[in-house]
Structure 1
Amino acid sequence: MLKYREIANELEAYIRDNKLQQGDKLPVLETLMTTFEASKSTITKALGLLEKKGVVFQVRGSGIFVRRFNRTGYISLLSKQGFKKSHEDHNHTSKILELDVRTPSEEVANNLGMSVEDEVYYVKRIQYVDGKALCIEESFYNKTLIPYLNKEIVSESIFNYITEALGLKIGFSDKYLHVDKINAEEAEFLGLETGDPKLDIETIYHLTNGQPFDYSKLTYNYKQSQFFIQENREL
């Protein structure tokens, strides 16, 4: 990992571990250079990365400040870390409904840039927060890139497995939102009534080289779901 990214990760962990709040000031640039034994340009790149992520903001002549409010339970629509990160202070569990290898539909194949004759891992599970159903998740993973999944991996964080065990680097994602009414099966899974409102989010996740590896469809329980978007100025 590049040094500026390592520094950015350490600073974000420092903010989280010390429960810093919106407006709390971080050490000045010179102190950070000494602490991390890094050049000014490296620290500046690390801070720029954190500013793009909405973790800090910089005020010319005043310093570097924490940006995030201490508001839990909201899911970032721009995050690639999933909703588990948004509910890290809550009990997060999942129930696996299906896990198998199959050939993709034309829709799935098109979104993953693969052939309908190739294979994908199909995962269907219900995600719970504090024992309440948050969403139904259906995910399709390109088996060429994600060659192995089992129930143990799927019960935890698949993305942690992809980055830590497989050593793949997750890059960007494209999201598509659609409001509709839930059907009978979805209502049963989410503890709602047929015809209640729902939010569907389709996401295509790409590696840093631009190759799509995961196409997911999430159907959210409208009673349990809250979302936010952090906007950033152009750097």
Structure 2
Amino acid sequence: MLKYQRIAEDMEQYIVDNELRQGDKLPVLEDLRKKYEVSKSTITKALELLEMKGIIYQVRGSGIFVRRHRRKGYINLDENQGFRSGLDDFQLTSEVLGLEVVTPSEEVMANLSISAEEPVYQVKRLRFIHEQPLCIEESYYKKSVVPFLNEQIVSESIFTYLREGLKLKIGFSDNFFHIRKLDEDEAELLSLDAGDPALYYESVYHLPNGEPFDYSKLVYNYQEAQFYLQINSF
């Protein structure tokens, strides 16, 4: 983790620990620079990261203010740090439904920009929140980028493994949503009825150089899932 990222993480924890709310003012840039004993550019990067995450906002000539008014239990639709991000206070578990190396389908090839000769890991999981089924997840990882997965890794946080185990940096993601009805197999897994509504969510995650490496499809239980999306500028 880079210095500015550690500072941003520390500032975010400070906001949480002190129960700061929307509009509360934070120390000015120069005070932050002295506190962390770093350059102005390092503090600026940390503030830009927090602003991008929707945690603070800056007003020229007035200062730095707390922005986030997080609703407990809501999933951030604009979060690139994995499924668990923002749900730290909740009991999240996974049931692994499948893990194998497969030949990519046309759909997977198109989303990961690969040929049929490049193998991928296929991971299927049922995700729970407080023991209630939250979503069905089906993910495909380029084996050239993610060379090894096992059941222990995929039963926990794959993104933590990618960041800490493989030292991968996640660049950005493209996300697509639509509403449809559950089929019988999906309904059984989510403890719902066939024909019930569901949010269908597709994501393609990229490395910082733009290479796609993870194509994921999730079907959310409408009774358990809540989402939010913050807009940073117009």
TM-score (norm 2): 0.95
In structure 2, distance between residues paired with 1:175 and 1:15: 29
1:105 positional shift: 0.4
- Bigger drift between 124-133 and 21-30 goes to 21-30
1:42 positional shift: 2.4
Counterpart for residue 92 of structure 1: 92
Q: After superposition, where does 1:66-145 map in structure 2 within 5 Å? A: 66-145=66-145
- Tell me, yes or no, if the aligned pair for 1:104 and 1:120 is still in contact at 8 Å: yes
In structure 2, distance between residues paired with 1:168 and 1:41: 24
Counterpart for residue 231 of structure 1: 231
* Residue 12 of structure 2 corresponds to residue 9 of structure 1: no
- Tell me, yes or no, if the aligned pair for 1:93 and 1:131 is still in contact at 8 Å: yes
1:194 positional shift: 0.4
In structure 1, distance between residues paired with 2:129 and 2:19: 22
- Tell me, yes or no, if the aligned pair for 1:198 and 1:221 is still in contact at 8 Å: yes
Counterpart for residue 184 of structure 1: 184
- Tell me, yes or no, if the aligned pair for 1:8 and 1:47 is still in contact at 8 Å: yes
Amino acid at match of 2:83: F
1:59 positional shift: 2.3
**Partner SS state of residue 90, structure 1:** coil
- Tell me, yes or no, if the aligned pair for 2:79 and 2:85 is still in contact at 8 Å: no
- Tell me, yes or no, if the aligned pair for 1:76 and 1:83 is still in contact at 8 Å: no
In structure 2, distance between residues paired with 1:62 and 1:56: 13
In structure 2, distance between residues paired with 1:17 and 1:114: 45
- Tell me, yes or no, if the aligned pair for 1:87 and 1:129 is still in contact at 8 Å: no
CA deviation digits over 1:93-131, x for unaligned, max 9?
110110111111011011111111211111001100011
Which runs of no fewer than 5 residues in structure 2 stay unpaired?
Answer: none
- Tell me, yes or no, if the aligned pair for 1:22 and 1:70 is still in contact at 8 Å: no
Amino acid at match of 1:188: E
CA deviation digits over 1:57-92, x for unaligned, max 9?
112333211111141111111101233223211111
1:2 positional shift: 4.2
In structure 2, distance between residues paired with 1:204 and 1:40: 34
| Runs of 4+ in structure 1 over 6 Å off | none
TM-score (norm 1): 0.94
- Tell me, yes or no, if the aligned pair for 1:102 and 1:122 is still in contact at 8 Å: yes
- Tell me, yes or no, if the aligned pair for 1:27 and 1:64 is still in contact at 8 Å: yes
- Tell me, yes or no, if the aligned pair for 1:122 and 1:138 is still in contact at 8 Å: yes
**Partner SS state of residue 114, structure 1:** coil
1:209 positional shift: 1.1
In structure 2, distance between residues paired with 1:45 and 1:57: 13
Amino acid at match of 2:82: G
- Tell me, yes or no, if the aligned pair for 1:135 and 1:221 is still in contact at 8 Å: yes
